[in-house]
Structure 1
Amino acid sequence: MERLGFPRWRAYGAAGRGASKVRLCDREGCNEVGDRPAPKAPHSKDRWYFCEAHAAEYNKNWNYFAGLSPRKLRAVPPKKNRALQPSAHLLNGNGWSGDGSRSRDEMRALEVLELDPDVEFKDVKVAYRRLAKEHHPDTNAGNRKAADKFQKVQAAYEVLRKAEERKNGKVA
């Protein structure tokens, strides 16, 4: 009877499959895998290799700030969690608000109304009324630039008004 299956180029259990070398924990009497390096001394390139339990025991009493005066300890900057910081390209350089709470359209609308990104909606209303009165076609008869500016101000106010309604839970 003929067996069908995957072709074999060498016999199972071939000679090329030796045991892999595993570094054991450097703690005396431990036979666990030593895959966690720890310095033998400060500023030394020599390392101990411990298992997880012995690495935790080794680091338990490690004083990372030994030898620093109280004055220098206060000067040590707190470690920032880079994973939780927003990307630099999303901040003010590309027209986005610093905290990411406003969309690109809202930022453009605020530019048209000559306002800062962190302005409140009541200030948006005041700026809209001021600019609408200043550029209204009735007060600037025949001035095409004023009419264009008036349309831009109206569109910008609509964008910000709808965003405010969405923020407050009203359907726009």
Structure 2
Amino acid sequence: FRAQQRKAEAERAAGERHLGKLERTALADLDLDGTADGPAIRARYKELLKRCHPDVNGGDRSAEHKLARVIKAYKTLQKAGLTT
């Protein structure tokens, strides 16, 4: 249900900014809406990196998949010029 809610929020926000599917998905992976600006994106990225990093989780690799998604999402948003 949460994924559907994030997707719906991203689609509503995307209508305002004309974001593509990749950008909307990347913002959803960072738990942000389509109105997020560069500083908000960077701050959320850093927060999620710290939370999902294996060293912080005592070597627990369960958050590794989420970490990979966060990194990929940020790179996507960088290429789109949203992180400035």
Q: Quickly name the TM-score band, shorter chain normalised.
A: 0.7 to 0.9
Matches within 5 A, 1:1-172: 93=8, 96=11, 97-99=14-16, 101-164=18-81
Please give the per-residue CA displacement for 1:3-30, whole angstroms capped at 9, x wherever unaligned.
Answer: xxxxxxxxxxxxxxxxxxxxxxxxxxxx
Please give the per-residue CA displacement for 1:134-165, whole angstroms capped at 9, x wherever unaligned.
Answer: 10111124423211111110000000011017
Please give the per-residue CA displacement for 1:91-123, whole angstroms capped at 9, x wherever unaligned.
Answer: x85x53122521101101111101011110110
Name structure 2 gaps, 5 residues minimum.
Answer: 1-6
Considering Cα pairs closer than 8 Å and 6+ residues apart, tell me whether 1 or 2 has the greater RCO: 2
Matching residue of 1:42:
none
| 2-structure distance, mates of 1:125, 1:115 | 11
Residue-pair matches, total: 74
Question: Which is helix-richer, 1 or 2?
Answer: 2
| 2-structure distance, mates of 1:118, 1:151 | 23
Could you tell me which amino acid in structure 1 is paired with residue 74 of structure 2? Y
2:52–2:64 CA contact under 8 A, matched in 1? yes
Question: Which is strand-richer, 1 or 2?
Answer: 1
2:17–2:35 CA contact under 8 A, matched in 1? no
Flag as ranges the 4+ runs of structure 1 deviating above 3 A: none
Percent identity between matched residues is: 32
2:48–2:70 CA contact under 8 A, matched in 1? yes
2:17–2:34 CA contact under 8 A, matched in 1? no
| 1-structure distance, mates of 2:35, 2:18 | 9
| 1-structure distance, mates of 2:49, 2:74 | 10
Offset at 1:124?
A: 0.3
Offset at 1:131?
A: 0.3
